[in-house]
A and B are shown apart, each in its own frame.
Chain A
Amino acid sequence: MIKNFLLAALLLIPMLSYGELFLEITKGSEDPYKVAMIPFEGNARLSKKLNNIIRNDLIRTGEFSILDEELLLPVKIVNDELVYSDWKLLGMDYLVTGTIVKTNNSLDINYEIYDVHKKRKVRSSKVFGIPNQIRQLAHYTSDGIYESITGIKGIAATRLLYVNEIKDSQLISTYKLMLADSDGANEKTLLSSSEPIISPSWSPDGRRVAYVSFETGIAKVFIQEISSGKREAVLSKDTQISSPSWSPDGKYLSLTLYQDGNAEIYILRLRDRILTRMTNQFAIDTESSWSPKGNKILFTSGRSGSPQIYELDLRKLNPKAKRVSFEGTYNAKASYLPKEEGIIFVHRSNDGLFHIALKYKRENFIRVLTEAKMDESPSVAPNGNMVIYGIKEENLSMLAGFSLSGAKFKLPASNGEVREPAWSNFLR
């Protein structure tokens, strides 16, 4: 009995101490790069922490498998040359070593990546930081490792926005607009309100956010500076305004306005707040999002009788919306992949369940990528390899993610429910 209790207590301790970060890898990819990570030299406590964060970052991409620490061998160096044969026998593709250099007001990380097959050093880099930025430094390091091995820019150092709803004992909700690192750690509250907050959207430089708040009783779009918390409504109109999306150059905001009797897409030039109407339809037009080059927008429209995705070419005079989704009776909330080679969106399957789907431009079929019941609001990472979206588990909203290579992970809320994730651009 006491034994059982002790065991339970032991199991609880790690859960409590890592309460902010509960990362659940549910699936990896089939052919991961095998990497041995030697604990970085220097302060043992920092090294352990660093190692953990980097390890999690790399595993979450689904493209890496990291050798268990117990199986690590000592690094042998003969005549200034690393001995690769041991690592080869262990089946490793890469070896990562590093040192932590800590002074009173600086914390730097040097790291090296060795290619076990080619038998040479493929990267030697330094990350500069200050002592309380260990998480940030770890993310930069793992992005460096990821990029030099895969050739794809890493997204560990990017950030997420999402909405957290917390109910108190009288079941009264508080809505919080939250900011966190891409691994869910380092949560910060940007705004707290007794009325719903929805549709957060990043400015391309990552310094500002736009969102819809119902604090005045109707939907209004606000822009808020992250560092100062300074915020303002984008339009002083007395109409419902929703689903803001920032143009890639940061100069425009596309919006949905309800002033014409039904929802229509408008583009707002932020400098002088000039509005241009983009759609003119008796049906609902909403959920606009920009192409990476800023010359097109995707939006959801009910003009065909069911919600479908349309594309508008902004370079044309009086552009005509082109329908891009044809499968099934519900396709919505679309966004482009970063090279515009395809779109990610919500699709209702024949079984009536909502899934995240992908459609490549050159293909005439869709690929359903998730299998829960009520998957919603997908947001694509800036390298195009990962998607974060909302799921429902036992009636609780939480966030889940997947990489196109097949990895899956979950980010359950530490408190209450989370939904409406938005992935930032690269932040450097």
Chain B
Amino acid sequence: MIANHRYLEASLFSFCIHAAIFLYIYGTFDTNTSQSLLISKPLLIELKFDLPSQNIQKKIPALTNVNTSTPIQSSQDIVYSKNKEASETSQDNGFIESNIANLLSEENEIKADKEQQEISMYAQKIISTIEDAWMKPRNIPEDLVANLRLKIRSTGRIIGVELIKSSGNIRFDNSALQAVRRVETFNFFNSIPRTLYEEEFQVLAISFNPS
């Protein structure tokens, strides 16, 4: 009996270790990549369907909430989610019971809204600049997707390009990299507010998804 018990314990222990290893390999603990993909989701949707900008605004808060684990983002997210609750209560109770906290949060919400609008505007500009520079190669299979990560200076100069997900087709990957090379500098970057740049546009993930 004792021996069996030991085996059970040992197998549980081994299971835990293996589970930990698999989770590590699948990137569960890898907070870094999920952070950089933050901006890529709206970009991806844009490249795919050319949705109106409202949808992007909806998408971004949803994503930021998922990624609260990352230190840089967290403070902003908490503020944002609080805003949301606050604004809901203020609507329920009407204007009479509004206090200074509500007023402040309203202000914050307007500010956050404006910021989201700005983000989507600049994201749109980035997308259209890259789209203009991109030549989709001929005779490649459909449903290919490649993701790139760009590091961009505040001047708009692209200082680093990295293929984070290959499409499996070298010609397609090359065309994406070549498009970014051709762009070289986003010349509207100097109009992006410094804080916004630091929060959102220093590192970008871009998905090339023509299907």
> A residues near B, CB below 8 A?
29-31, 33, 93, 117, 150-152, 341-342, 358, 360, 362-363, 367, 369, 385, 404-406
Contact = CB atoms under 8 A, between A and B. Distances in A.
Given A93-B181, A117-B181, A117-B184, A406 B170 contact: no
A150 B170 contact: yes
A362 B168 CA distance: 13
A404 B171 contact: yes
The 7 closest A-B pairs by CB, nearest first: A31-B135, A404-B139, A360-B141, A406-B138, A30-B135, A117-B181, A151-B170
A363 B142 contact: yes
B73 interface: no
Contacts of A360: 141-142
B85 interface: no
A363 B142 CA distance: 8
A269 to B, nearest CB: 35
B141 A342 contact: yes
Interface of B: 135, 137-143, 170-171, 173-175, 178, 181, 184
Contacts of B142: 360, 362-363
B174 A150 contact: yes
A30 B142 CA distance: 19
Contacts of B138: 29-30, 404-406
Nearest to A383: B170
Given A93-B178, A150-B174, A341-B141, 9 more contacts: A30-B135, A31-B175, A93-B181, A150-B170, A151-B173, A342-B141, A362-B143, A363-B141, A405-B137
Q: Majority SS of interface residues in chain A?
A: loop
Contacts of A30: 135, 138
A346 B142 CA distance: 22
The residue in B138, B142, B173, B175 that gathers the most chain A C-beta atoms within 10 A of its C-beta is B138
Contacts of B143: 362
B198 to A, nearest CB: 25
A30 B151 CA distance: 27
7 contacts: A30-B138, A31-B178, A151-B170, A358-B139, A362-B141, A362-B143, A404-B171
Given A93-B181, A117-B181, A117-B184, A367 B174 contact: no
Contacts of A358: 139
A406 B135 contact: no
A406 B139 contact: yes
A250 to B, nearest CB: 27
Contacts of A31: 135, 137, 175, 178
Contacts of B137: 29, 31, 404-405
B139 A369 contact: yes
Contacts of B140: 404
Contacts of B175: 31
A358 B178 CA distance: 25
The residue in B143, B171, B184 that gathers the most chain A C-beta atoms within 10 A of its C-beta is B171
Contacts of B184: 117
A88 B142 CA distance: 34
A367 B170 contact: no
Contacts of A405: 137-139, 171
Contacts of A341: 141
Contact of A151 (B139, B141, B174): B174
A32 to B, nearest CB: 10
Contacts of A29: 137-138
Given A31-B175, A33-B178, A367 B135 contact: no
Nearest to A115: B181
A362 B175 CA distance: 21
A69 to B, nearest CB: 24
